[in-house]
Amino acid sequence: MTAELLTRARMNEQLQPLKKQPRVGKASHSGTQDDVVYAHIFDAILEQRLAPGTKLSEEALGEIFGVSRTIIRRALSRLAHESVVLLRPNRGAVVASPSVEDARQIFYSRRLVERAITELAVEHATAEQLAELRQMVADEQASFSRGDRGAGIRLSGEFHLKLAEAAKNAPLISFQRSLVSQTSLIIAQYESGSRSHCSYDEHNQLIDAIEARDAVKAVSLMMHHMDHIDSKLNLDEDSASDDLHAVFSHLLQTKKKAPRSAAPR
């Protein structure tokens, strides 16, 4: 049996249905076909279900999502633009695997961006946006409480994206989206020690300071929050998987249950 057949056999053996809780605030899975593929892969990276260095086979992803390789390439190109996927000439795409130096630079940039976003959010955040942020924190805490660590991690990252929206600065939102997804890869690759999460407590305190329009306190809390994330990294191991069929098995199970329809063009 060839290496390719062995790999496919291993993938098929690992196709197990995953119990997925309803997601709140996730990337939109509507729009064009490449939007859908992009959103699913982005979510999988945020949830640390896709391990750094995972080969993103166009053929395997096309089979999983039921779309052409052209559509897969468009989605991967968007992810590469955000620096979470690496496109290698003649070797295909892989999930980015940040080096220690990459991680340090990303966290340095993240601190600068988070400071600016926090200051602007204090100035611009509306009552409706603050309520949405509080709901995201409640959903994050509920996810960790029921043992859905992946959803909790994703919601923790999306909290920072929603905060960037409240800052009302389009370039910062775009930059933050890339930084948050890269941070998730760094945590998956370099987190050490306890995997306990208390980010929801820190997020609630941050919302309180923003609601009080206390910029000094809000920035201080954000920097403490970043210190907490940084302290859990060993930049000198992972629960994610490099098996595409295992990561997206819930989609395959849904496809099996759905009535057969014409293949997308």
Q: How far is residue 81 CA from its own chain's centroid?
A: 15
Strands 92-95 and 85-88, bridge-based pairing: antiparallel
C-alpha distances in angstroms, 82 versus 93, 105, 110, 125? 14, 15, 14, 26
Q: Which CATH class is domain 100-231?
A: mainly alpha
74: exposed, middle or buried (Cβ count in 10 Å: 0-12, 13-18, 19+): middle
Q: Going by CATH, does the domain composed of 3-19+29-97+239-257 fall within 1.10.10.10?
A: yes
3-state SS class at 225: helix
Q: 178-229: per-residue pLDDT in tens?
A: 999 999 899 888 887 655 566 888 999 999 999 999 999 999 999 999 999 9
Give the pair of three-digit tokens for residue 34.
């490449």
Instruction: Examine the pLDDT at 82 and tell me if it is beyond 70.
Output: yes
Query: Which of these, 201, 228, 195, 236, lies nearest to 114 by C-alpha position?
Result: 228
Cα separation of 230 and 110, whole Å?
11
- Give the pLDDT mean for 153-175: 94
Instruction: Examine the pLDDT at 78 and tell me if it is beyond 60.
Output: yes
- Sequence spans of domains, the chain: 3-19+29-97+239-257, 100-231
In this prediction, residue 241 carries a pLDDT of: 63
Give the pair of three-digit tokens for residue 3.
């290496």
Which amino acid, 78?
A: R
Cα separation of 55 and 57, whole Å?
6
Cα separation of 75 and 141, whole Å?
31
